[in-house]
Amino acid sequence: MEGTVSSASTRAERMANRERNPKWQNPALHIDMSICINCDTCIRHCPPHFGAIFNHGIDVVIIPELCSGCLKCVDPCPVDCIHPVEDGMETPLDWWDAPLEDDPYR
């Protein structure tokens, strides 16, 4: 497919389309909220051009469509609560409000 450009190549496009970049090879990550201690270390380590991790109420969440699977948030996590997304996991619609309300990557 000559000249084809991913429709989800920029963060803004991924947010608008709610679509993960199809070129990303690594699986997206999610946070096991039953283990997470809400230290926000993962937010500070998520590269801004991905900007996938947010506070959502009392929880910290990763929006899989924004997560490249780069693993930069995994090692700093003090409780090992960040894991690859499992098959069948869907992003709750209300998580998409987080980047609009209080986006730490702006």
Per-residue pLDDT of 48-86, as tens digits, reads: 999 999 999 999 999 999 999 999 999 999 999 999 998
Q: How many domains does the chain divide into?
A: 1
- Structural domain contains residue 11: no
Average pLDDT in the 10-38 region? 95
The pTM (predicted TM-score) of the whole model is 0.89
Domain extent for 36:
28-101
pLDDT band at 16 (very low <50, low <70, confident <90, very high): very high
In a domain, 15, yes or no: no
Non-local (6+) Cβ contacts of 11 within 8 A are 49, 50, 51, 66, 105
Task: Report yes or no on 83 lying in a domain.
Answer: yes
**pLDDT score, position 1:** 41
Q: Considering the chain, what is the average pLDDT of its residues?
A: 91
Domain CATH number, residue 76: 3.30.70.20
Per-residue model confidence (pLDDT) at position 5: 54
